[in-house]
Homo-oligomer: A and B are copies of this chain.
């Protein structure tokens, strides 16, 4: 609900509109937590990769040219954020993008932004 707040300067706008545009901490943290994961180029590359295929750790490591402990670390963060899932198959752990609204929204947004920031 709109609550009045005394700002240092009054620029003649209607205050409750300003207040309503400030979301609560839960919403802010929920969004920024998801964005923080993809703010790291390595995790973004991994997530993007796993949006298109299911892979084991060694193959992911080879694809992005990093060591497997480093990949494991990033996979754990992505999983904690609910962006990917994993299942065991023999000795291997297979990862892929989560089948959730959040993961799909981020996937679409990434492709959208990629078009914008990379003309042609």
Question: Which residues in A have some Cβ–Cβ distance to B below 8 Å?
Answer: 5, 7-9, 11, 13, 17-18, 21-23, 26-32, 34-41, 44-45, 48-49, 51-56, 58-59, 62-64, 92, 101-102, 105-106, 109-110, 112-114, 116-118
Taken together as a complex, chains A and B put the C-alpha atoms of A102 and B109 apart, in Å, by 10
Contacts of A11 in B (CB 8 A): 54-56, 59
Q: How many copies are assembled? A: 2
* B58 contacts A27, C-beta separation under 8 Å: no
Contacts of A45 in B (CB 8 A): 22-23, 28
Contacts of A55 in B (CB 8 A): 11, 18
* B109 contacts A30, C-beta separation under 8 Å: no
Smallest CB gap from A59: residue in B: B7
Contact of A113 among B7, B44, B51, B105 (CB under 8 A): B105
